[in-house]
Amino acid sequence: MKFTRTEIPDVIVCEPNILKDERGYFFESFKKELFEAFIGSELQFTQDNEAKSTKGVLRGLHYQLPPFAQTKLVRVIKGCVLDIAVDIRQHSPTFGQYEAIELSDKNKLQLYIPKGFAHGYVVLSDEAIFSYKVDNYYNKESERGIMFNDPALQIDWQLPANELIISEKDKNQPLFKQADLFV
């Protein structure tokens, strides 16, 4: 597996070694010892999640506050999404910046998103199956969000606003400057 740090160095693109032949393909999507050696700390994923969505569905920007903050390892099993990770760590040199990466069943890339980032994605294909590992369980009281179209963030979601399908909860998230962020 190849690991590449993004412009926000704590967000890492993971590219598997894909073995292909006439039968199809095989790859390791997660190997704990390789990840830990690259990031320099221990990983303790506790849960795998999967979501199926249609084109235009935008989920995010979500996160949980400590002590329930989550590290995520995300990938697409079917289809294509634009994945977004926003740095919400107030003392970070990249505070308020984001990474955007296309994840698909064709490129098989994964994105490692550590604690201290808001996360979201929009489905670019007709349908997508999105899978992710987390290292902490969901906690409703700790759950927070940021408005997906906050002008301060200037995220290009790659689809016109009238094509987006967004939950009422996500339509009513606070702006970045008003959100509860990581200290």
Residue 65 to residues 10, 96, 137, 145, 159, Cα–Cα distance (Å) = 18, 16, 12, 10, 29
Q: Which two tokens stand for residue 24?
A: 């199809």
Alpha-carbon distance of 60 to 173, in angstroms, equals 9
Catalytic residues: 62, 132
Q: Which two tokens stand for residue 148?
A: 């997906």
Alpha-carbon distance of 15 to 2, in angstroms, equals 5
- For residue 82, say if its preceding peptide bond is cis, omega within 30 degrees of 0: no
Alpha-carbon distance of 167 to 147, in angstroms, equals 12
